Chains A and B, each alone.
Chain A
Amino acid sequence: MSSSPTEVKEAAGAVMIAMPQMGISVAEGTIVEWRKRPGDWVDADEPICDVSTDKVDVEIPSPAAGRLARIVVEPGETVAVGTVLAELEAGMDGGDAAEPGEADRSRVYSPIVRRMAADQHVDLEQVEGHGVGGRVRKADLLNFLEEEKKEPQLHTESPYKPDLESNREPMSPMRRQIARHMVESRRTAAHCTTVAEVDFTKVAARRCELREGMERRGAHLTYLAFVARATAAALGRHPILNASVEGEEIVHHEEVNLGIAVALEDGLIVPVIRDAQRLSLEGMAAAIGDVATRAREKRLTPDEVQGGTFTITNPGQFGTVLATPIINQPQVGILDLEAVVKRPVVVEREGEDLVAIRSMSNLCLSFDHRALDGAEAARFLGELREELERGGRD
């Protein structure tokens, strides 16, 4: 398919080829491949490159006939609509050679550069040129060799040479979004993490007791479900943790819309369980099972990943015992459930201290210190602990 006409700006004979607007909602595109090289002749409307967006892949037609002077955006790069992709020397006779100095000369080498590269065993493709048209000048090669000298030469004979370049790949759109989101949260919130050690022995016992029945009714009962159920209830008593920070205001939310972090093969997604405070333990277990399954099958709707008021993450399923999670903006808290493991702990029985084997875990709460202080966070976590140590609620 062909895109809408490419935006053209005339500048001193040169035609700039820009990333076209390919639909209202598309803000950026990724160059997949250039079909022409600098110096190549291009006819008007001839496809010049392929662009991929998150919705569709399109061919970009040349806005004019001319000679491709310069490629600005390389394959794999993602740029905003309107960004100049390449420069076209318009209207030149197709038979003429490219003007010297105008074309890409980054891979044209002078005698001295060739000879030095051969003597020093330099791959000239690795050397960045700063001369006319990107030419690799003698000075550029000398600088390159100087830089190389600073870094100790890797042992080229060894088959175990750590070739750092060989694993380079562009981030997936999901990866990029997560990266942006996480850095943004780190920059925005005053992160503080507080940890409570929780005895899950009674929860474990109740889980054994209820599990089979729920399984028959289609709900998979996990420790996470107990924690989520207790959290939804505790958030009602601690509204400051079921809130958002917007500028210098705190917005409290009536409903508890509980985000559950689900690890995917290539990232992470946080589906939201709405009105979680209304769910019973079995309802919670069923809801978690449902969104987790659909998240892994990529069957969530956009609405199901928005509007969370608090998030629970559960990396403990992989055996870890402590974490300092990053808050899912603009929420003020994220609760992390770590692995439930059996440990010898001191328990008091009839006035006597005994060492017993208990199922223990850590609940780690990261909160935004802008919205609340450590005492409030500790109270919330303390109530959660007490309730879970009683075995949770139905």
Chain B
Amino acid sequence: MAELTYLEAISDGLRTEMRRDESVFCLGEDIGAFGGAFKVTAGFAEEFGPERVLDMPLAENAIIGAATGAAIEGMRPVCEMQFADFIACGFDQLVNVAAKLHYRQGVAVPMVVRLPSGGGFSGGPFHSQNPEAWFLQAPGLKVVAPATAADAKGLLASAIRDPNPVCFLEHKGLYRHVRGEVPEGEHTVPIGEARVAREGGEMSVIAYGSAVPLALAAAEALGEDIEVLDLRTLWPLDREAILASARKTGKVLIAHEGTAACGVGAEVAALIGAEAFEHLDAPVRRLTAPDVPIPFSPPLEAAVLPQLDDMKEACRELLAY
């Protein structure tokens, strides 16, 4: 075990898979000579050479399209979007081509799209978004969003080995703020399995990404019997884990940094409403960003993104209900 930051764990996972499997390669903007905008691939060009660490033009559709073609041919490409927001430019290749190839032609597309997401650093509306819900509307894609360093490494490895296109959401706010013990060498975390981050009986916070540490901090600060379920995979959802926690506590708060409307929380709430209704002791509540773009202004951004106090208040309200 080594203690790594979330960012180092992603690098470690990618490096380990590239060493393990020669068909794994990465491509993106400034990832080679520059080592990537956030330095995830720093030193990769030196170790793996320019043929496995491809610097691409500023054309996300070309990056995703090239990766899709390579995946069809049996390679395992890992694309880096410099910011998750830019996936919009590669959307057609992702949702219309990569996601549907297996359905249309029975062809596997084993590729990964890494998506540095999230706000909290005054990045404004083009560099702070949490676009994960977009992908849930494109059947054929898998979506993961780790919250810990170990899960970041393990889920990236699983995403690379998965025969489907996988969107890998890595929250920029966690990059250097989250660190933890990470198994050395090969390490995988199964896609589709949530994790009970904190056991509790009075209410559940179902969260992922940056909302997980927020929920844990709120639970500790309140000193209440709160369960925190870290989804880890957003599609396919771990239905059993979600329903087990909802049935256990009867009170569920779903928390994420992404906006509310038709978000991951809406899907989780619908699942609970449909399958755990008889166990509910309170309405299912959501703590999310409001349905607005992310502002540049630090005070406005703090007002939009869920903060620790918001999480505590939401928990208190639900506990008192």
Q: Which A residues have a C-beta under 8 Å from some C-beta of B? A: 110-113, 115, 131-132, 135, 137-139
Q: Give the shortest distance, in Å, between A256 (CB) and chain B (any CB).
A: 65
Q: Give the shortest distance, in Å, between B161 (CB) and chain A (any CB).
A: 41
- How distant is the Cα of A132 from the Cα of B285 in the complex, in angstroms? 15
Q: Give the shortest distance, in Å, between B125 (CB) and chain A (any CB).
A: 33
Q: Is the CB of A137 within 8 A of B281?
A: yes
Interface of B is mostly: loop
- How distant is the Cα of A137 from the Cα of B203 in the complex, in angstroms? 12
Among B34-42, B147-155, B272-280, B294-302, the stretch that binds chain A is: B272-280
On chain A, the residues within 8 Å of B202 by CB distance are: 139
In the A-B complex, the 6 residue pairs with the smallest Cβ-Cβ separation, listed nearest first, are A138-B281, A110-B281, A112-B281, A112-B250, A138-B250, A111-B278
- How distant is the Cα of A110 from the Cα of B250 in the complex, in angstroms? 9
> B103 at the A/B interface (Cβ < 8 Å)?
no
On chain A, the residues within 8 Å of B251 by CB distance are: 138
Q: Give the shortest distance, in Å, between B282 (CB) and chain A (any CB).
A: 6
From B277, B280, B321, A132 is in contact (CB under 8 Å) with B321
List 22 A-B residue pairs with CB atoms under 8 Å apart, sorted by A's residue number.
A110-B250, A110-B280, A110-B281, A110-B282, A111-B277, A111-B278, A111-B279, A111-B280, A111-B281, A112-B250, A112-B278, A112-B279, A112-B281, A113-B281, A115-B279, A132-B320, A132-B321, A135-B321, A137-B321, A138-B250, A138-B281, A139-B202
- How distant is the Cα of A118 from the Cα of B282 in the complex, in angstroms? 18
Count of inter-chain pairs, beta carbons less than 8 A: 29
Q: Across the interface, name the chain A residue whose C-beta is closest to B279.
A: A112
Q: Is the CB of B278 within 8 A of A131?
A: no
On chain A, the residues within 8 Å of B282 by CB distance are: 110, 137
- How distant is the Cα of A112 from the Cα of B320 in the complex, in angstroms? 16
On chain B, the residues within 8 Å of A110 by CB distance are: 250, 280-282
Q: Give the shortest distance, in Å, between B40 (CB) and chain A (any CB).
A: 45
Give per-residue flags for B199-221: 1 if the beta carbon is below 8 A from chain A beta carbons, else 0: 00010000000000000000000
- How distant is the Cα of A135 from the Cα of B250 in the complex, in angstroms? 14
Q: Which B residues have a C-beta under 8 Å from some C-beta of A? A: 202, 250-251, 277-282, 320-321
On chain A, the residues within 8 Å of B279 by CB distance are: 111-112, 115
On chain B, the residues within 8 Å of A139 by CB distance are: 202
Q: Give the shortest distance, in Å, between A327 (CB) and chain B (any CB).
A: 51
Q: Give the shortest distance, in Å, between A139 (CB) and chain B (any CB).
A: 7
On chain A, the residues within 8 Å of B277 by CB distance are: 111
Contacts A111-B280, A132-B321, A139-B202 aside, 19 further interface pairs with beta carbons under 8 A come to A110-B250, A110-B281, A111-B277, A111-B279, A111-B281, A112-B250, A112-B278, A112-B279, A113-B281, A115-B278, A115-B279, A131-B320, A132-B320, A135-B321, A137-B281, A137-B321, A138-B250, A138-B251, A138-B281
On chain B, the residues within 8 Å of A131 by CB distance are: 320-321
- How distant is the Cα of A110 from the Cα of B276 in the complex, in angstroms? 12
- How distant is the Cα of A115 from the Cα of B280 in the complex, in angstroms? 10
On chain B, the residues within 8 Å of A111 by CB distance are: 277-281
- How distant is the Cα of A313 from the Cα of B87 in the complex, in angstroms? 98
On chain A, the residues within 8 Å of B280 by CB distance are: 110-112
On chain B, the residues within 8 Å of A137 by CB distance are: 281-282, 321
Q: Give the shortest distance, in Å, between B13 (CB) and chain A (any CB).
A: 41
- How distant is the Cα of A138 from the Cα of B282 in the complex, in angstroms? 9
- How distant is the Cα of A110 from the Cα of B278 in the complex, in angstroms? 8
Query: Which of A112, A115, A132, A139: most chain B CB closer than 10 A?
Result: A112
Q: Give the shortest distance, in Å, between A142 (CB) and chain B (any CB).
A: 10
- How distant is the Cα of A131 from the Cα of B279 in the complex, in angstroms? 17
Q: Give the shortest distance, in Å, between B63 (CB) and chain A (any CB).
A: 48
Q: Across the interface, name the chain B residue whose C-beta is closest to A136.
A: B281
- How distant is the Cα of A70 from the Cα of B44 in the complex, in angstroms? 68
Q: Give the shortest distance, in Å, between A368 (CB) and chain B (any CB).
A: 53
Q: Give the shortest distance, in Å, between B224 (CB) and chain A (any CB).
A: 11
Q: Give the shortest distance, in Å, between A301 (CB) and chain B (any CB).
A: 56
On chain B, the residues within 8 Å of A112 by CB distance are: 250, 278-281
- How distant is the Cα of A147 from the Cα of B277 in the complex, in angstroms? 27
On chain A, the residues within 8 Å of B250 by CB distance are: 110, 112, 138
- How distant is the Cα of A36 from the Cα of B321 in the complex, in angstroms? 25
Q: Give the shortest distance, in Å, between B248 (CB) and chain A (any CB).
A: 11
- How distant is the Cα of A111 from the Cα of B275 in the complex, in angstroms? 12
Q: Across the interface, name the chain B residue whose C-beta is closest to A110.
A: B281
- How distant is the Cα of A111 from the Cα of B278 in the complex, in angstroms? 5
Q: Give the shortest distance, in Å, between A55 (CB) and chain B (any CB).
A: 43
Q: Give the shortest distance, in Å, between A143 (CB) and chain B (any CB).
A: 13
- How distant is the Cα of A111 from the Cα of B252 in the complex, in angstroms? 14
Q: Give the shortest distance, in Å, between B319 (CB) and chain A (any CB).
A: 9
- How distant is the Cα of A112 from the Cα of B250 in the complex, in angstroms? 7
- How distant is the Cα of A132 from the Cα of B281 in the complex, in angstroms? 12
- How distant is the Cα of A137 from the Cα of B282 in the complex, in angstroms? 8
- How distant is the Cα of A113 from the Cα of B281 in the complex, in angstroms? 7
Q: Give the shortest distance, in Å, between B202 (CB) and chain A (any CB).
A: 7
On chain B, the residues within 8 Å of A132 by CB distance are: 320-321
- How distant is the Cα of A135 from the Cα of B320 in the complex, in angstroms? 9
On chain A, the residues within 8 Å of B321 by CB distance are: 131-132, 135, 137
Q: Across the interface, name the chain B residue whose C-beta is closest to A131.
A: B321
On chain A, the residues within 8 Å of B278 by CB distance are: 111-112, 115
On chain A, the residues within 8 Å of B281 by CB distance are: 110-113, 137-138
Q: Give the shortest distance, in Å, between B165 (CB) and chain A (any CB).
A: 39
Q: Across the interface, name the chain B residue whose C-beta is closest to A100.
A: B283
Q: Across the interface, name the chain A residue whose C-beta is closest to B225.
A: A139
- How distant is the Cα of A138 from the Cα of B278 in the complex, in angstroms? 12
- How distant is the Cα of A110 from the Cα of B283 in the complex, in angstroms? 9
Q: Across the interface, name the chain B residue whose C-beta is closest to A130.
A: B320
- How distant is the Cα of A115 from the Cα of B277 in the complex, in angstroms? 11
